[in-house]
Chain A
Amino acid sequence: MTAALPETAENRYDLGFARWVRDNVEGGDKLSLCMQCGACSGSCPIGTQMDHGPRKIIAMIRAGMKDEVLSSNTLWNCTSCYRCTVRCPRGIPVTSIIQDLAAKAVEFGYADKKENALFAKSFWWSTSAFGRTDERLVTARYYFSLGFLEGIRRGLANLKIALGMVRTGRMHLGMPHKIKDIKGLTAILARAAEIEAEEANDEL
């Protein structure tokens, strides 16, 4: 479990947030190294589709803009391509910071209604359950997590495409495919969770 977020008054800005990121977010301790050169934002293939590019997200963290950072679509639109991390002249793990902030956004309820977050959850459910993504199940779970009626609406809207894919052998019918050693994957994930818990304990 992550330490609780600082209580923010009406204020958009709270320096406590910067301190919290430094202490709780993966790579957050490297924030001070950022010299705001913008190499990350310039390299980001998705930058134009983000509320704020990665450079600005870092500036906003430092300025303590908690709500804006945690509800920004930057966290969800990031494709984890790692260009920013590779190109940052100061060696800041920008991608890790963004990804971990996304996880924290979920943890603290900033992403309850975020479609990207809901999609990510469905995606993770399929991956961890079968070791694979099953398009049908991921899509269905994602649509219905938007609400029952919305699930029906979106499902119908995409039915034609789905049938087309089935016809051309792009989507199969029947039970979801699993990887061979699903037990092994489950064990790996369990161990990862253990390690995470241990680390969280160590930090306390």
Chain B
Amino acid sequence: MPDGGTMVIEKKSGIYLCEGCGIADAIDVDALEALATGDLKTPHCKRHAAYCSAEGVAEIAADVKNGDVNQVLIAACSPRVMTDRFNFPGAQIIRANMREQVIWSHPPGEEDTNMLAADQLRIAVAQAGQFSPPEPHAEAEVAGALLLVVGGGVTGLTAALEAAHTGAEVILVEKTDTLGGWTRKWSRLLPERPPYRDPQPNDIADLIAAVEGDKAITVMTNTLVTSTAGGPGAFDVTLTQNGKNQSQSVGAIVVATGWRPYDPSLLEGLGYGASPDVVSDIEFEEILSSGEMKRKSNGDALNTVAFIISGDSDRMPYSSGLSDRIVIKQALQLLEAVPEAMIYVMHEDLRAHGMAEEFYRQAQEAGIIFQNGVVKSVGADLTITLEDRLIGEDVPMSGFDMVVLSTGMVPNSTNVDLEPAAKGADQLVDDVNPLAALLAAAKAGDGEEKAEEAPAPDTSEEADQDGANGEAAMPGGPILNLQYRQGPHLPVLANGYADSHFICFPYETRRTGIYTCGPVRRAMSVAEARQDAQGAVLKAFQAMRAADKAVSVHPRVGDLSYPEFGLDICTKCRRCTVECPFGAIDEMEDGYPVLNPTRCRRCGTCMGACPVRTINFKNYNISMITDMIKAVDVPDEFAEKPRILVFACENDAYPALDMAGINRHQLTPYVRILPVRCLGSVSATWVSTALESGYDGIMLLGCKSGDDYQCHFVKGSAIAQERMESVGATLESMMLEKERVRTEEVSIADSARVTALLNDYADEIKAIGYNPFKGF
């Protein structure tokens, strides 16, 4: 679309009332039709026994084709289903949920149920009034399928090779002079194939050779990424090799910067440093590789060896079950080399989940003894004092030739070899644990020294504004040195792991088009890292293609809409640039916000943030929801029917409410549910509109926030809670009970819980009494 603005097309709405799935039996469809053609002024209103049938679909399609309607309002099942059938190119589709959230969750034939159905129709008509079809954003300049992979360990190598096989050109950047990373040092690898019982050969050399031999892959060693600007489809990166800079445009970036070992001397009292025969698992791997099974102190044979898996709570976040599997692997390899050896594994917990159970069994059958207890100390003579929980006393165990300490993997979410960035080191570490990154730094390498070196959090005015409540300096320098308004680093989570949702969307960082994989996001084995690399590469391809088509990536995949900024009334408050979870908005020199549309995920958090309400989407905007709120017919207090407005996040809460209907949980008749893209998009103005319109209570239903967040836009739910806290203060100043606005976190599986939450809330609101503004 050229700059001339949006072409105005006359809206021609048609309402289609479905009678199927028992809707006509449970609610008064005649009354709905009268409402549509009467109060709602939509003469084009039709009914059908089942609109999802071929006949029903054909009827709507014909109306669209004839030009009778260009806005199709279907009052039938949930907007989450039948999307393939109710899809009429050339028309906007608006759905009123009459099935899951009306007839399946409310008793048939009752006055309250009919009132709800009428409100659902009013809401849909109000939505249609402010809904225009989205158009792609103008910029769609794309660099083609050129992928940058950062890190030349097993993860990065796999990513590069997979991407090359999928048809991309790849630049693989490695900061040292060799490929292969830590994996090059491993004598053997954990079993990844049935029967999952024996350590398997290390084939890293083959992988390196394949990468080096692939014409589509350019390997750059001794290279750092010193600047990254732009966005998916067209990142502008500077690669610095031996001091020489090279600019490059790339479509997407895979970050596979791996890990560094947890410092074994932080394992208090376990003897590291007291004797050369107390070694870390990394050092023991060298002994295994060398084939010389000898004591470091005097060269004697290794006959009796203890492995210690400590439950040290500082180590735990970096160890995971992986460290325990490595102990099993090393013990088995030692036993193979020295069949007469007595091998003890002293563990507080032993984590050998999934197929690793077989591996554990193999070790037990081979004669390795697993002793449960807490190792209290390891002496310089290698005497171990074990608080044996199963004998119930402290057992001193002596006669060991070597003690091996299980350590852990500290993520390289920053480059600790670099000085912290001069500007923007005040990285938003997340609202979880502001000191996490600092602690992570202290765990690695030379430990405490590093922590002292790390700069104090920037307390300048600018940092205060940025930081809200969770800012801390990152150790070391940034990996990509992002030229983003939100700073040069990739956001990290607790303990310094690169931010990603562990289960649901593992590779997504908060920087669109940049995907982390491998141990930088969690401790993982070589096999797991390879799988992870494959996943991240597929994500990178998706991002490049989405950028090409000017559509969104996860979770609103394919969405064309994007936020538009009415800069005429913008006050340059910078809330949008700070709160955007994805760093999609930069600031121009004059302080106005500027959107990088390819970075945008269309969550609407900026829209919810803007105090002057000047950020809007074509098909999702402040006026639209405001009208939908006002569309509901709120009875006066003499009717004794309170109204509760629910903003339900469309990712989990809304589906959970649909599930409640599917499971026939009965909902209070007082709620009116509006789906929102993310709780982050809920504007405070909607809350005040609702209170002014006479609603008695407002509930925001979103996903879990915190370091184990489930929010699909990472921070939206947390931001909403913060905002609602200040709304609470406003309520009190208006002499309203702060219980009238509540935020709850639910998951998609919570259909019973969400029902109970709403029903209890309705009781609570009834007890508090009606909104005094009702009727004004």
Where the two chains meet, the residues of A that have a C-beta atom closer than 8 Å to any C-beta of B are 11, 13-16, 18-19, 22, 29, 31-33, 35-36, 55-56, 59-60, 62-65, 90
B372 at the A/B interface (Cβ < 8 Å)? yes
| Interchain CB contact (< 8 A) of B342 among A18, A33, A65 | A18
Where the two chains meet, the residues of B that have a C-beta atom closer than 8 Å to any C-beta of A are 304, 342, 344, 364-372, 386, 388, 390-391, 395-400
B388/A63 in contact, CB under 8 A? yes
B390/A56 in contact, CB under 8 A? yes
Closest A-chain residue to B391, C-beta based?
A59
If over half of B's interface residues share one DSSP class (helix, strand or loop), that class is named, otherwise mixed; here it is: strand
Known: A36-B372, A63-B391. A14 touches B399 (CB 8 A): yes
If over half of A's interface residues share one DSSP class (helix, strand or loop), that class is named, otherwise mixed; here it is: helix
A62/B364 in contact, CB under 8 A? no
Closest B-chain residue to A64, C-beta based?
B397
Report the bound CA distance from A190 to B397 in whole Å.
42
A33/B399 in contact, CB under 8 A? no
- Which 5 pairs between the two chains have the least Cβ-Cβ distance? A63-B395, A59-B390, A32-B367, A32-B369, A33-B364
Contacts of B400 in A (CB 8 A): 15
24 residue pairs A–B, Cβ–Cβ below 8 Å: A13-B397, A14-B399, A15-B304, A15-B344, A16-B399, A18-B369, A19-B342, A29-B367, A32-B366, A32-B368, A32-B369, A32-B370, A35-B364, A35-B370, A36-B390, A56-B390, A59-B388, A59-B391, A62-B369, A63-B371, A63-B386, A63-B388, A63-B395, A64-B397
Known: A15-B304, A32-B367, A33-B365. A60 touches B391 (CB 8 A): yes
Closest B-chain residue to A31, C-beta based?
B369
Which of B342, B372, B386 has most chain A Cβ within 10 Å?
A: B342
Contacts of A36 in B (CB 8 A): 372, 390
**Chain A nearest Cβ from B401, distance in angstroms:** 11
Contacts of B369 in A (CB 8 A): 18, 31-32, 62
**Chain B nearest Cβ from A67, distance in angstroms:** 14
Closest A-chain residue to B399, C-beta based?
A15
Contacts of B388 in A (CB 8 A): 59, 63
| Interchain CB contact (< 8 A) of B396 among A13, A29, A31, A90 | A13
Contacts of B366 in A (CB 8 A): 32
**Chain A nearest Cβ from B540, distance in angstroms:** 44
Contacts of B396 in A (CB 8 A): 11, 13
Contacts of B370 in A (CB 8 A): 32, 35
Report the bound CA distance from A55 to B372 in whole Å.
13
Known: A32-B368, A36-B390. A63 touches B399 (CB 8 A): no
B397/A15 in contact, CB under 8 A? yes
**Chain A nearest Cβ from B577, distance in angstroms:** 56
Contacts of A13 in B (CB 8 A): 395-398
| Interchain CB contact (< 8 A) of A15 among B342, B367, B391 | B342
A56/B398 in contact, CB under 8 A? no
Report the bound CA distance from A69 to B307 in whole Å.
25
Report the bound CA distance from A29 to B369 in whole Å.
11
Closest A-chain residue to B345, C-beta based?
A32
Contacts of A19 in B (CB 8 A): 304, 342
Contacts of A22 in B (CB 8 A): 342, 367
Report the bound CA distance from A36 to B364 in whole Å.
12
Contacts of B365 in A (CB 8 A): 32-33
Known: A13-B396, A13-B397. A62 touches B371 (CB 8 A): yes
Report the bound CA distance from A56 to B388 in whole Å.
11
Closest B-chain residue to A33, C-beta based?
B364
B398/A11 in contact, CB under 8 A? yes
Report the bound CA distance from A28 to B364 in whole Å.
13
Report the bound CA distance from A104 to B364 in whole Å.
25
Contacts of A11 in B (CB 8 A): 396, 398
**Chain A nearest Cβ from B377, distance in angstroms:** 15
Report the bound CA distance from A11 to B395 in whole Å.
10
**Chain B nearest Cβ from A11, distance in angstroms:** 7
Report the bound CA distance from A62 to B344 in whole Å.
9
Report the bound CA distance from A15 to B368 in whole Å.
13
Q: 6 new A-B pairs (CB below 8 Å) besides A11-B396, A36-B390, A56-B390? A: A13-B397, A15-B399, A16-B399, A19-B304, A33-B365, A60-B391
Report the bound CA distance from A64 to B384 in whole Å.
13
Report the bound CA distance from A14 to B342 in whole Å.
13
Report the bound CA distance from A14 to B396 in whole Å.
9
**Chain A nearest Cβ from B250, distance in angstroms:** 52
Report the bound CA distance from A36 to B397 in whole Å.
19
Report the bound CA distance from A43 to B73 in whole Å.
70
Contacts of B391 in A (CB 8 A): 56, 59-60, 63, 65
Contacts of B397 in A (CB 8 A): 13, 15, 63-64
Report the bound CA distance from A15 to B403 in whole Å.
14
**Chain A nearest Cβ from B667, distance in angstroms:** 47
**Chain B nearest Cβ from A133, distance in angstroms:** 37
Which of B344, B368, B388, B399 has most chain A Cβ within 10 Å?
A: B399
Closest A-chain residue to B388, C-beta based?
A63
Contacts of B364 in A (CB 8 A): 32-33, 35, 90
Report the bound CA distance from A54 to B587 in whole Å.
73
Closest B-chain residue to A6, C-beta based?
B399
Contacts of B386 in A (CB 8 A): 63
Contacts of A31 in B (CB 8 A): 369
Report the bound CA distance from A33 to B369 in whole Å.
8
Report the bound CA distance from A16 to B399 in whole Å.
8
**Chain B nearest Cβ from A2, distance in angstroms:** 18
Which of B344, B372, B397 has most chain A Cβ within 10 Å?
A: B397
Closest B-chain residue to A38, C-beta based?
B390
Closest A-chain residue to B306, C-beta based?
A15
**Chain A nearest Cβ from B254, distance in angstroms:** 42
Closest A-chain residue to B392, C-beta based?
A56
Report the bound CA distance from A35 to B345 in whole Å.
13
Closest B-chain residue to A58, C-beta based?
B390
Contacts of A59 in B (CB 8 A): 388, 390-391
Contacts of B371 in A (CB 8 A): 62-63
**Chain A nearest Cβ from B390, distance in angstroms:** 5
Closest B-chain residue to A52, C-beta based?
B391
Contacts of A18 in B (CB 8 A): 342, 369
